[in-house]
Structure 1
Amino acid sequence: MSPNLPNSSLSRAAARQPFWRWLMVALLVVALDHATKYWILQHYQWGDASVVTGFFNIVRAHNTGAAFSLLADHGGWQRWFFVLVAAAATLFILWQLRAHGGQKLASFSLACIMGGAIGNVIDRLMHGYVVDFLDFHWQGRHFPAFNVADMAISVGVAGMLLAELLRWRRERSQPQA
Protein backbone atom coordinates (compact mmCIF):
# COMPACT_ATOMS: atom_id res chain seq x y z
CA MET A 1 0.00 0.00 0.00
CA SER A 2 1.16 3.46 -0.79
CA PRO A 3 1.93 5.72 2.15
CA ASN A 4 0.30 8.57 0.17
CA LEU A 5 -3.19 7.02 0.44
CA PRO A 6 -5.50 8.68 2.95
CA ASN A 7 -6.17 6.71 6.15
CA SER A 8 -9.74 5.94 5.07
CA SER A 9 -8.43 4.28 1.89
CA LEU A 10 -5.93 2.25 3.90
CA SER A 11 -8.59 1.10 6.36
CA ARG A 12 -11.02 0.17 3.54
CA ALA A 13 -8.32 -1.86 1.79
CA ALA A 14 -7.37 -3.57 5.05
CA ALA A 15 -11.03 -4.32 5.78
CA ARG A 16 -11.49 -5.98 2.37
CA GLN A 17 -8.60 -8.40 2.92
CA PRO A 18 -10.50 -10.62 5.41
CA PHE A 19 -13.52 -10.64 3.08
CA TRP A 20 -11.48 -12.32 0.33
CA ARG A 21 -9.98 -14.73 2.87
CA TRP A 22 -13.47 -15.87 3.86
CA LEU A 23 -14.53 -16.22 0.25
CA MET A 24 -11.54 -18.52 -0.28
CA VAL A 25 -12.64 -20.64 2.71
CA ALA A 26 -16.10 -20.97 1.16
CA LEU A 27 -14.57 -21.83 -2.22
CA LEU A 28 -12.39 -24.51 -0.58
CA VAL A 29 -15.49 -26.05 1.01
CA VAL A 30 -17.26 -26.09 -2.38
CA ALA A 31 -14.19 -27.62 -4.07
CA LEU A 32 -13.77 -30.37 -1.43
CA ASP A 33 -17.48 -31.09 -1.46
CA HIS A 34 -17.63 -31.48 -5.22
CA ALA A 35 -14.40 -33.42 -5.52
CA THR A 36 -15.76 -36.03 -3.10
CA LYS A 37 -19.20 -36.09 -4.73
CA TYR A 38 -17.63 -36.45 -8.17
CA TRP A 39 -15.63 -39.43 -6.92
CA ILE A 40 -18.77 -41.02 -5.47
CA LEU A 41 -20.73 -40.46 -8.70
CA GLN A 42 -17.91 -42.05 -10.74
CA HIS A 43 -17.44 -45.10 -8.52
CA TYR A 44 -20.86 -45.90 -7.03
CA GLN A 45 -24.33 -46.48 -8.39
CA TRP A 46 -27.34 -45.28 -6.41
CA GLY A 47 -27.69 -47.52 -3.34
CA ASP A 48 -24.18 -49.04 -3.54
CA ALA A 49 -22.28 -49.25 -0.27
CA SER A 50 -18.81 -50.21 0.93
CA VAL A 51 -18.15 -51.22 4.51
CA VAL A 52 -15.19 -49.25 5.89
CA THR A 53 -15.44 -50.07 9.61
CA GLY A 54 -17.98 -51.61 11.96
CA PHE A 55 -19.63 -48.21 12.32
CA PHE A 56 -18.95 -46.44 9.00
CA ASN A 57 -19.87 -47.11 5.37
CA ILE A 58 -19.46 -45.20 2.16
CA VAL A 59 -22.76 -45.19 0.28
CA ARG A 60 -24.36 -43.38 -2.61
CA ALA A 61 -27.58 -41.78 -1.52
CA HIS A 62 -29.71 -39.10 -3.17
CA ASN A 63 -31.46 -36.58 -0.96
CA THR A 64 -34.19 -34.42 -2.51
CA GLY A 65 -34.97 -32.89 0.89
CA ALA A 66 -33.04 -30.86 3.43
CA ALA A 67 -31.15 -32.08 6.49
CA PHE A 68 -32.26 -35.56 7.56
CA SER A 69 -34.29 -35.76 4.31
CA LEU A 70 -36.77 -33.18 5.59
CA LEU A 71 -39.46 -32.63 2.91
CA ALA A 72 -37.85 -35.24 0.65
CA ASP A 73 -41.18 -36.74 -0.37
CA HIS A 74 -43.01 -33.55 -1.32
CA GLY A 75 -43.20 -33.76 -5.10
CA GLY A 76 -40.26 -31.62 -6.22
CA TRP A 77 -41.25 -28.06 -5.24
CA GLN A 78 -38.78 -28.27 -2.34
CA ARG A 79 -35.85 -28.32 -4.77
CA TRP A 80 -36.51 -24.73 -5.82
CA PHE A 81 -37.45 -23.69 -2.30
CA PHE A 82 -34.07 -24.89 -0.99
CA VAL A 83 -32.25 -23.19 -3.88
CA LEU A 84 -33.98 -19.88 -3.04
CA VAL A 85 -33.26 -20.25 0.69
CA ALA A 86 -29.59 -20.97 -0.04
CA ALA A 87 -29.37 -18.00 -2.42
CA ALA A 88 -30.88 -15.68 0.19
CA ALA A 89 -28.57 -17.09 2.88
CA THR A 90 -25.55 -16.62 0.61
CA LEU A 91 -26.43 -12.97 -0.04
CA PHE A 92 -26.94 -12.36 3.69
CA ILE A 93 -23.65 -14.09 4.53
CA LEU A 94 -21.77 -12.07 1.90
CA TRP A 95 -23.16 -8.89 3.46
CA GLN A 96 -22.13 -10.07 6.94
CA LEU A 97 -18.64 -11.05 5.79
CA ARG A 98 -18.20 -7.68 4.13
CA ALA A 99 -19.31 -5.85 7.29
CA HIS A 100 -17.70 -8.06 9.95
CA GLY A 101 -14.83 -9.91 8.24
CA GLY A 102 -12.47 -9.10 11.10
CA GLN A 103 -14.42 -11.31 13.50
CA LYS A 104 -12.49 -14.47 12.78
CA LEU A 105 -14.58 -17.22 14.38
CA ALA A 106 -17.91 -15.83 13.21
CA SER A 107 -16.58 -15.15 9.70
CA PHE A 108 -14.98 -18.58 9.39
CA SER A 109 -18.26 -20.12 10.51
CA LEU A 110 -20.29 -18.08 8.03
CA ALA A 111 -17.86 -19.01 5.25
CA CYS A 112 -18.32 -22.71 6.07
CA ILE A 113 -22.11 -22.35 6.04
CA MET A 114 -22.00 -20.46 2.74
CA GLY A 115 -19.64 -22.98 1.12
CA GLY A 116 -21.81 -25.88 2.25
CA ALA A 117 -25.00 -24.21 1.06
CA ILE A 118 -23.47 -23.46 -2.35
CA GLY A 119 -22.13 -27.01 -2.63
CA ASN A 120 -25.56 -28.52 -2.04
CA VAL A 121 -27.29 -25.99 -4.32
CA ILE A 122 -24.97 -26.97 -7.16
CA ASP A 123 -26.09 -30.57 -6.66
CA ARG A 124 -29.76 -29.59 -6.63
CA LEU A 125 -29.34 -27.63 -9.85
CA MET A 126 -27.23 -30.30 -11.61
CA HIS A 127 -29.01 -33.46 -10.46
CA GLY A 128 -32.25 -32.50 -8.73
CA TYR A 129 -30.94 -34.03 -5.50
CA VAL A 130 -27.97 -33.77 -3.16
CA VAL A 131 -25.39 -36.57 -3.26
CA ASP A 132 -24.77 -37.98 0.23
CA PHE A 133 -22.21 -40.67 0.95
CA LEU A 134 -21.03 -40.75 4.56
CA ASP A 135 -23.00 -43.36 6.51
CA PHE A 136 -22.37 -43.77 10.23
CA HIS A 137 -24.23 -46.46 12.15
CA TRP A 138 -24.30 -48.23 15.48
CA GLN A 139 -26.13 -51.41 16.48
CA GLY A 140 -28.27 -51.40 13.35
CA ARG A 141 -29.24 -47.74 13.62
CA HIS A 142 -28.02 -45.46 10.86
CA PHE A 143 -27.50 -41.72 11.14
CA PRO A 144 -28.81 -40.12 7.92
CA ALA A 145 -26.12 -40.12 5.21
CA PHE A 146 -24.41 -36.78 4.67
CA ASN A 147 -21.58 -35.12 2.73
CA VAL A 148 -18.77 -32.56 3.06
CA ALA A 149 -21.16 -29.63 2.52
CA ASP A 150 -23.34 -30.88 5.37
CA MET A 151 -20.27 -31.17 7.62
CA ALA A 152 -19.23 -27.61 6.76
CA ILE A 153 -22.72 -26.30 7.54
CA SER A 154 -22.71 -28.16 10.87
CA VAL A 155 -19.24 -26.86 11.78
CA GLY A 156 -20.38 -23.37 10.77
CA VAL A 157 -23.50 -23.48 12.93
CA ALA A 158 -21.50 -24.77 15.91
CA GLY A 159 -18.92 -22.04 15.33
CA MET A 160 -21.61 -19.36 15.17
CA LEU A 161 -23.08 -20.59 18.45
CA LEU A 162 -19.63 -20.54 20.04
CA ALA A 163 -18.87 -17.07 18.67
CA GLU A 164 -22.13 -15.75 20.06
CA LEU A 165 -21.51 -17.41 23.44
CA LEU A 166 -18.02 -15.88 23.60
CA ARG A 167 -19.38 -12.46 22.61
CA TRP A 168 -22.08 -12.71 25.27
CA ARG A 169 -19.51 -13.70 27.93
CA ARG A 170 -17.22 -10.81 26.93
CA GLU A 171 -20.09 -8.35 27.20
CA ARG A 172 -21.17 -9.75 30.57
CA SER A 173 -17.68 -9.54 31.99
CA GLN A 174 -17.26 -5.87 31.04
CA PRO A 175 -18.17 -3.44 33.84
CA GLN A 176 -21.43 -1.55 33.31
CA ALA A 177 -20.99 2.15 32.59
Structure 2
Amino acid sequence: MTELTLKRSGIRWLWLAVVVFALDIVIKLVVMNHMDYGWQHRIEVLPFFNLLYVHNYGAAFSFLSDQTGWQRWLFTGIALLVVLLLMYWMRRQPASERWTNSAYAMIIGGAVGNVFDRIAHGFVVDYLDFYWGGHHWPAFNLADSAICIGAVMLILDGFRRKDEPK
Protein backbone atom coordinates (compact mmCIF):
# COMPACT_ATOMS: atom_id res chain seq x y z
CA MET A 1 0.00 0.00 0.00
CA THR A 2 1.38 3.39 -0.96
CA GLU A 3 1.53 6.13 1.63
CA LEU A 4 -1.25 8.70 1.25
CA THR A 5 -0.47 12.39 1.42
CA LEU A 6 -2.35 14.32 4.09
CA LYS A 7 -4.46 15.93 1.39
CA ARG A 8 -5.50 12.55 0.00
CA SER A 9 -5.98 10.81 3.34
CA GLY A 10 -9.04 10.70 5.55
CA ILE A 11 -7.47 13.40 7.75
CA ARG A 12 -9.18 15.84 5.38
CA TRP A 13 -12.43 14.90 7.13
CA LEU A 14 -11.33 16.33 10.48
CA TRP A 15 -13.26 19.49 9.53
CA LEU A 16 -16.39 17.53 10.51
CA ALA A 17 -14.92 16.77 13.95
CA VAL A 18 -14.22 20.49 14.41
CA VAL A 19 -17.84 21.35 13.48
CA VAL A 20 -19.23 18.75 15.93
CA PHE A 21 -16.90 19.98 18.69
CA ALA A 22 -17.74 23.67 18.10
CA LEU A 23 -21.51 23.09 18.02
CA ASP A 24 -21.32 20.94 21.14
CA ILE A 25 -19.36 23.54 23.11
CA VAL A 26 -21.56 26.44 21.98
CA ILE A 27 -24.76 24.59 22.95
CA LYS A 28 -23.30 23.60 26.33
CA LEU A 29 -22.29 27.21 27.04
CA VAL A 30 -25.79 28.42 26.16
CA VAL A 31 -27.31 25.79 28.45
CA MET A 32 -24.93 26.61 31.33
CA ASN A 33 -25.47 30.36 31.01
CA HIS A 34 -29.22 30.47 30.38
CA MET A 35 -30.78 27.52 32.18
CA ASP A 36 -31.16 26.74 35.85
CA TYR A 37 -29.53 23.53 37.03
CA GLY A 38 -31.53 20.40 37.76
CA TRP A 39 -34.41 18.23 36.67
CA GLN A 40 -36.95 20.46 38.39
CA HIS A 41 -36.06 23.27 35.94
CA ARG A 42 -36.59 21.29 32.75
CA ILE A 43 -38.29 22.93 29.78
CA GLU A 44 -40.99 20.78 28.21
CA VAL A 45 -40.59 20.94 24.43
CA LEU A 46 -42.61 17.95 23.20
CA PRO A 47 -44.69 15.25 24.92
CA PHE A 48 -41.58 13.03 24.86
CA PHE A 49 -38.72 15.56 25.04
CA ASN A 50 -37.39 18.11 27.54
CA LEU A 51 -34.43 20.45 27.65
CA LEU A 52 -32.61 20.61 30.97
CA TYR A 53 -29.22 21.26 32.51
CA VAL A 54 -27.53 18.47 34.47
CA HIS A 55 -23.98 17.35 35.22
CA ASN A 56 -22.68 13.87 34.41
CA TYR A 57 -19.61 12.90 36.43
CA GLY A 58 -19.46 9.46 34.84
CA ALA A 59 -19.53 8.10 31.33
CA ALA A 60 -22.41 6.96 29.14
CA PHE A 61 -25.64 6.64 31.10
CA SER A 62 -23.85 8.05 34.19
CA PHE A 63 -21.66 4.93 34.48
CA LEU A 64 -19.38 5.35 37.54
CA SER A 65 -20.79 8.83 38.28
CA ASP A 66 -21.04 7.99 41.98
CA GLN A 67 -17.27 7.51 42.35
CA THR A 68 -14.84 9.90 44.03
CA GLY A 69 -13.45 11.65 40.93
CA TRP A 70 -10.81 9.26 39.64
CA GLN A 71 -13.19 8.32 36.78
CA ARG A 72 -12.82 11.82 35.32
CA TRP A 73 -9.19 11.12 34.39
CA LEU A 74 -9.85 7.52 33.36
CA PHE A 75 -12.54 8.57 30.86
CA THR A 76 -10.41 11.48 29.65
CA GLY A 77 -7.49 9.14 29.01
CA ILE A 78 -9.62 6.55 27.24
CA ALA A 79 -11.23 9.20 25.04
CA LEU A 80 -7.87 10.69 24.08
CA LEU A 81 -6.49 7.24 23.19
CA VAL A 82 -9.56 6.55 21.03
CA VAL A 83 -9.18 9.92 19.30
CA LEU A 84 -5.52 9.20 18.51
CA LEU A 85 -6.36 5.72 17.21
CA LEU A 86 -9.17 7.03 14.99
CA MET A 87 -6.92 9.78 13.63
CA TYR A 88 -4.28 7.14 12.82
CA TRP A 89 -6.90 5.11 10.94
CA MET A 90 -8.13 8.23 9.13
CA ARG A 91 -4.56 8.96 8.07
CA ARG A 92 -4.36 5.51 6.47
CA GLN A 93 -7.75 5.81 4.71
CA PRO A 94 -8.20 7.54 1.38
CA ALA A 95 -10.26 10.74 1.61
CA SER A 96 -12.71 9.17 -0.86
CA GLU A 97 -13.92 6.81 1.91
CA ARG A 98 -16.48 9.42 2.94
CA TRP A 99 -18.71 7.17 5.04
CA THR A 100 -15.95 5.74 7.23
CA ASN A 101 -14.07 9.02 7.59
CA SER A 102 -17.30 10.83 8.51
CA ALA A 103 -18.01 8.22 11.18
CA TYR A 104 -14.49 8.58 12.63
CA ALA A 105 -14.78 12.38 12.56
CA MET A 106 -18.14 12.36 14.36
CA ILE A 107 -16.74 10.12 17.10
CA ILE A 108 -13.63 12.31 17.40
CA GLY A 109 -15.65 15.55 17.59
CA GLY A 110 -17.98 14.14 20.23
CA ALA A 111 -15.17 12.63 22.28
CA VAL A 112 -13.18 15.88 22.26
CA GLY A 113 -16.31 17.82 23.25
CA ASN A 114 -16.84 15.64 26.30
CA VAL A 115 -13.10 15.64 27.14
CA PHE A 116 -13.17 19.44 27.07
CA ASP A 117 -16.02 19.38 29.61
CA ARG A 118 -14.22 16.90 31.87
CA ILE A 119 -11.02 18.96 31.88
CA ALA A 120 -12.67 22.40 32.13
CA HIS A 121 -15.52 21.59 34.53
CA GLY A 122 -14.87 18.16 36.05
CA PHE A 123 -18.15 16.87 34.58
CA VAL A 124 -19.96 16.62 31.25
CA VAL A 125 -22.91 18.95 30.60
CA ASP A 126 -26.03 17.08 29.49
CA TYR A 127 -29.23 18.75 28.31
CA LEU A 128 -31.34 16.40 26.17
CA ASP A 129 -34.05 14.41 27.98
CA PHE A 130 -36.17 11.94 26.02
CA TYR A 131 -38.86 9.94 27.78
CA TRP A 132 -41.93 7.78 27.35
CA GLY A 133 -44.56 8.09 30.06
CA GLY A 134 -42.61 8.17 33.31
CA HIS A 135 -39.56 6.39 31.90
CA HIS A 136 -36.71 8.77 31.07
CA TRP A 137 -33.70 7.90 28.94
CA PRO A 138 -30.54 9.15 30.68
CA ALA A 139 -29.86 12.78 29.74
CA PHE A 140 -27.25 13.28 27.03
CA ASN A 141 -25.83 15.94 24.69
CA LEU A 142 -24.77 16.58 21.08
CA ALA A 143 -21.33 15.04 21.66
CA ASP A 144 -22.94 11.79 22.88
CA SER A 145 -25.25 11.82 19.86
CA ALA A 146 -22.34 12.28 17.44
CA ILE A 147 -20.43 9.42 19.08
CA CYS A 148 -23.45 7.10 18.83
CA ILE A 149 -24.22 8.07 15.22
CA GLY A 150 -20.57 7.55 14.27
CA ALA A 151 -20.51 4.15 15.98
CA VAL A 152 -23.70 3.04 14.19
CA MET A 153 -22.19 4.23 10.90
CA LEU A 154 -19.12 2.05 11.56
CA ILE A 155 -21.30 -0.96 12.34
CA LEU A 156 -23.26 -0.44 9.14
CA ASP A 157 -19.98 0.01 7.28
CA GLY A 158 -19.03 -3.50 8.36
CA PHE A 159 -21.89 -4.83 6.23
CA ARG A 160 -20.94 -2.80 3.16
CA ARG A 161 -19.24 -4.56 0.29
CA LYS A 162 -15.95 -2.92 -0.47
CA ASP A 163 -14.07 -3.24 -3.73
CA GLU A 164 -10.68 -4.87 -3.31
CA PRO A 165 -7.75 -2.68 -4.35
CA LYS A 166 -6.03 -3.84 -7.53
Deviation at 1:125, TM superposition (A): 0.5
Specify the structure having the higher radius of gyration (Cα).
1
The yes-or-no answer on 1:27 pairing with 2:4 is: no
* SS of 1:94 mapped into structure 2: helix
- What's the counterpart of residue 122 of structure 1? 116
Give percent identity, aligned residues only.
40
Instruction: Tell me, in whole angstroms, the C-alpha distance in 2 between the residues paired with 1:154 and 1:74.
Output: 24
TM-score by length of 1: 0.85
2:147 to 138, 148, 153: 153
Deviation at 1:108, TM superposition (A): 0.6
- What's the counterpart of residue 165 of structure 1? 159
- What's the counterpart of residue 36 of structure 2? 45
Higher helix share: 1
Instruction: Tell me, in whole angstroms, the C-alpha distance in 2 between the residues paired with 1:85 and 1:14.
Output: 28
* SS of 1:165 mapped into structure 2: coil
Unaligned runs of 5+ in 1: 1-7
Instruction: Tell me, in whole angstroms, the C-alpha distance in 1 between the residues paired with 2:15 and 2:151.
Output: 18
Instruction: Tell me, in whole angstroms, the C-alpha distance in 1 between the residues paired with 2:144 and 2:94.
Output: 23
Greater relative CO, 1 or 2 (CA 8 Å, sep 6+): 2
CA gap 1:40/1:164 in 2 versus in 1, 3 angstroms: same
Deviation at 1:12, TM superposition (A): 2.7
Instruction: Tell me, in whole angstroms, the C-alpha distance in 2 between the residues paired with 1:86 and 1:13.
Output: 23
- What's the counterpart of residue 130 of structure 2? 136
CA gap 1:75/1:19 in 2 versus in 1, 3 angstroms: same
* 4+ residue runs over 3 A deviation: none
CA RMSD of aligned residues (A): 1.9
